[in-house]
Every structure is written in structure tokens, then in C-alpha cells.
Amino acid sequence: MAPAAWQPPQDVLPFLEYSADRKQVRCTVCNSEGKATVKEFIQSKNLKTHLTSATHVACNTNHLVRERARLEQVKQISDAYNAGGVENYQNAASPAPSYPPPMFPAPPVLNDVDMDYYADVNDAQLMEQMGQTVPVDEAPTPEEIRLRLQEEFQRMLEEAHRETHFGIDVGDGFVGDDLPKEFEDDQDDECWDRSLLEQSEYRPYPNKTAMLLDIMDNLPRARFSSTQMSMIIHFAKQLGAPDVPSLKALRKMQQTLQSTCGNKPVKITSQFGNVFYMNDIRETLARDMANPLVAPHMHFYPEETDGPISETYQAEHWMEYTPSQLTPMFSKGHKRFWIEELAQLKNGTFVIPHTLIVRNGTLTSDVSIAEQTSEGQWTLLDQEITINADDSELDYNDIIAHFGTLLWNEGCKSLADAQRDAETCC
């Protein structure tokens, strides 16, 4: 037989306010304490968890203390008004005004000895002396308080893990339990014009505000929950900040950025059944090369140095690879110069680069000189020189556009085979 459904204790029922369909409930104790995170309706199925939370326990303790103090005050006032008349009253002969006795005793003046005494008194004893007695069995011990706080922290941590960071449905079900209605934002569309995204100074962000909100939401070791981000967005709008998106628009923008600029890990299962995830190094390098602040600091070519070796690309081990196994190309503006492809220098000389090496901080290339014979064929001279890569002027596509198909003599057949498929050998 299925166990009976949990029912709230009888002493708690007077402090529960149910909705019309009884699917939601509100704790009037926490509501009276003005707790912003619990003063709205919550799901009825979460009531048991709420009643054992540290927040409710603290609110209930404050409520009991305040109620006892109120009853004590009512009793004192009632005793004062119901007291018997004063017999044999003698009018004072002094002309000085007389004052009625105080209704409540004045608080004692504490001296240094009293302060030392109160320093050794616990909270329960101090509240008892102040007229706000709490039964000893109801006052939580420090260990109980620590355990309750630990349970509350664990509950908040589990909720944070369940909450999806991107694509979260920030609707009534989310806002109703954790976010006050005044912070709720039903705007579902973006607050920017997508046609202006290409001209945005903060691309791929639509504006500066969206960029700052996304940076704030992704700070390492200081993650914000969606409730906190909703409050931040609400405050920004109230302060008149321009171009403030709604939480839904911010989440949509983050999802778009994640799909276009992010690197989705690939699930890998090893032969032993171990599961791990791996990022694609090609996507990482592509993003770094597309960043104008990062690309100038990236090194792609081996470097020859006469001084001490401080970087991996300066080691001789790089020279053990063939040029085709290293970076086989360099860019100059919108032109790309590949090794083993014909190129023309600024002085008009035709060359075929074989290597790309950094020497004295400058990218250089060991090249063979080529020339066109009177019959229109191309041949290589037995001469190799070292040039600066910046001296290159025309790449292979420019030469093909000017001369058409390149015909190499019989001695350059192996070279012709390495050229693009547009070339032929005579």
C-alpha cells in the first residue's frame, strides 16, 4: 500500500495561505518577516522543504519572540489600567510638577562589571532577562544552527546545479518562487536592432550594456544566479541605463554567442569505457586568430636565434620537420603565399619559397629563383637566396591571372606536380 501523503503539522496550518486551486501556498510567518525570497506563493509540493529550511526556522523564531513580547506588553498595559485606586492620596506641597510613575521599568544602567557579566551570558539567558523568554528546548544550539545553514546551503547548491545557464525558461514558474513580481520581466524580444549588429562597436555584442552584463554573468568563481541577474537588470533599468535587455533577451543572446563563438566539447569514449570530453583545437586556434588583440602575439614559424633558447619554437627540434609539416603559408594583406608555389617579389624577380623561418625577428624564406624562357616555358635557376617575406608582391593566383597556365620544362616536372591542379607540365 502506498504511504499516505505528507500533511503539514496542525500548529502550522493557521500560518498557511493556499491559492484557490491549492497548488500554491504562502507562509504568512515568512511573509510577515518581509523576506523578499519567500514572501510570494510557492508550490505546495515544496512546503515540506520550506518548513525545514533555515530561513523559515529563523523567521519562526523571530515571530515567536515578537509574539511573546507583544503579549507581555498587552498584559502590562492591562494590569496598569485594571489596578486598584490609590488610598490616602496626599497632594504634594511642592510647587514643582509631579510626574506619574513610569508604566514600564527603566532599563538598568550597565557599568563595566555588568558588561563583563553579559559577555558570559548566552542568547537564551539574555532574552529571558529582557522579558522575551524562549523555552530552552526551543532555542537552537550552535550545532543545530550550523547544520541548518549547511542544509540550506546544500539546497541552494542543488537548485543552482539544476538551473540551466543557457536557454533557461524564465517564466512564471521560475519567477513565482524566487523572484518578487516587481522584478519580473515578460519581454521576450531583444532590445536591439539585429540589422545594426554588423556595425556594432562591441561586436559580436549588440551594445556595451549587453557586453558588460554577459561579462558580469560569466565572472570566474563569482557566478550569478538568474534571480540575481534579474535584480541587476531591474536596477539598471531603474537607474536609466541605456539598451538594457530583458533576462530572456540576455539568455537568448548568450545562447547565440555560445553556438557561434563557443567551442562545443566532443564526447569521447575510450577502449576501456571511460568517457571524457575534448575541445577541437582547430576551433580554438581559429578564434584566437580572429581576435585582433591575440593574433599578433601568436607564433606559427620556427625561429633561429643566436642567444639563449626561451621558447619552444626556438628549439632545433622544429627543424627536424619538413616545411610542409610546419606552417606552409603566410598572409600579406589579402594575399596568401604558399611554399613550393611561384611568387613574384617587389623587384620583379620570380621565386619559389621552400621554407618559412623567423630570423632576427623577421619572417624570411629560402627561395629558388625562377624565370620564363623565350618559348614561354618556366624553369628554375641553380641559385637559392634568402628573402624577407614582406618583399613578396604577387601570389600564385595573381601570376595565374596574368600569365595563364604555367608550363614548366622537363627538368621541373617534379615541381610541377606539386603545383595546383591548374598547372601542367610540357
Please report, rounded to a whole number, the percentage of residues in the chain having pLDDT higher than 70. Answer: 71
Is it the case that residue 424 has pLDDT exceeding 50? no
Question: What CA–CA distance (Å, rounded) separates 403 from 422?
Answer: 12
Average pLDDT, the chain: 76
Task: Check residue 358 and give its pLDDT.
Answer: 92
pLDDT over 80 (residue 226): yes
Residue 307 pLDDT > 70 = yes
Q: Which one of 66-70, 129-133, 334-338 scores highest in mean pLDDT?
A: 334-338
> What is the average per-residue pLDDT within 343-352?
91
Compute the distance between CA of residue 247 and CA of residue 184 in angstroms, rounded to an integer: 9
What are 134's three cell numbers?
524562549
| Mean pLDDT (whole number) for 276-290 | 87
Are 338 and 393 within 8 A, CB to CB?
Answer: no
User: Could you count the other beta carbons within 10 Å of the beta carbon of residue 319?
Assistant: 11
- For residues 301 and 136, what is the distance between their CA atoms, to the nearest angstrom? 76
**Residues ≥6 apart with Cβ < 8 Å to 176:** 24, 40, 41, 42
Gap between the Cα atoms of 332 and 345, Å rounded: 12
Annotated domain spans of the chain: 1-75+114-162, 184-261, 263-298, 303-425
At residue 111, does pLDDT exceed 90? no
Going by pLDDT thresholds of 50, 70 and 90, the confidence category of residue 182 is: very low
Choice among 18-32, 80-94, 220-234, 287-301 with the minimum mean pLDDT: 80-94
For residue 213, name the pLDDT band (cuts at 50, 70, 90). very high
Residue 176: the pLDDT is 38
Residue 35's pLDDT is what? 60
CA distance readout (Å), 188 to 200, 247, 253, 379: 22, 8, 12, 67
Most confident by average pLDDT, 10-19, 108-117, 164-173, 279-288: 279-288
pLDDT at residue 331 greater than cutoff 70: yes
Q: Is the pTM of this model over 0.85?
A: no
